Amino acid sequence: MFFTTGGIGPTHDDITAKSISVAFGLNYEIHKKAFKILEAYYKPGEFNEGRQKMVWMPKDAKLILNPTSGAPGFCVENVFCLPGVPSILKSMLGGLKNEIVGGEPILSHTISLRTVESEIANSLTEVQNKNKDVEIGSYPFFQAGKLGVSIVIRSEDKSKIESCSLQILDFVNKKKIEVVERN
């Protein structure tokens, strides 16, 4: 299964639906059911040309209902296309419970630091290179007027997450970087 987030809105740079159509060799056309959903969602006169762009999808795409803002996402084979706005995306995930099955659960652990990515880039790369079967991502944040980085460690194996966490905390302590939060 593959997921896309973003690119299904009404602006010129929202090209996901058209790109998926091309990738699967499907016609890019108005999805009649999506049109009816949005036509009913908006007040008369509000379903303008821009909003109508959100009903253009690959032929026969399966809709993913949107309880927050009306505009549905869609699925073609094993590719699920969802909006990029986190709160809207989250509200739509519940509708996929019966669609996504199988596989071991992916576990994660987050370590949030008061630093910038450039300060930890080399050390984090070393940890990643030693742990090829674990996914390690770094995500900058700005909170309470201060910069920080959240390091997210993902794996199906809790012991591998714990090992990576210890390796990361080792270089964090050596560099005297403040740990803001761990979960």
Determine the pLDDT at residue 8: 93
Let me know whether 81 and 111 are in one domain.
Answer: no
SS3 sequence of the chain: CEEEECCCCCCCCCCHHHHHHHHHCCCEEECHHHHHHHHHHCCCCCCCHHHHHHHEEECCCEEECCCCCCCCEEEECCEEEECCCHHHHHHHHHHHCCCCCCCCCCEEEEEEEECCHHHHHHHHHHHHHHCCCCEEEEEEEEECCEEEEEEEEEECCHHHHHHHHHHHHHHHHHCCCEEEEEC
> Does the residue 171 lie in any domain?
yes
Write down which residue in 75, 96, 117 finishes a domain: 96
Write the pLDDT tens digit of every residue in 157-181.
999 999 999 999 999 999 999 999 8
> Does the residue 156 lie in any domain?
yes
Determine the pLDDT at residue 99: 75
The average pLDDT across 106-123 equals 92
Let me know whether 73 and 147 are in one domain.
Answer: no
Range of the domain at 178: 107-182
Determine the pLDDT at residue 97: 72
Let me know whether 9 and 91 are in one domain.
Answer: yes
Number of domains in the chain: 2
Let me know whether 10 and 92 are in one domain.
Answer: yes
- Stronger pLDDT, 115 or 142, i.e. the higher one: 115
Let me know whether 92 and 15 are in one domain.
Answer: yes
Let me know whether 8 and 91 are in one domain.
Answer: yes
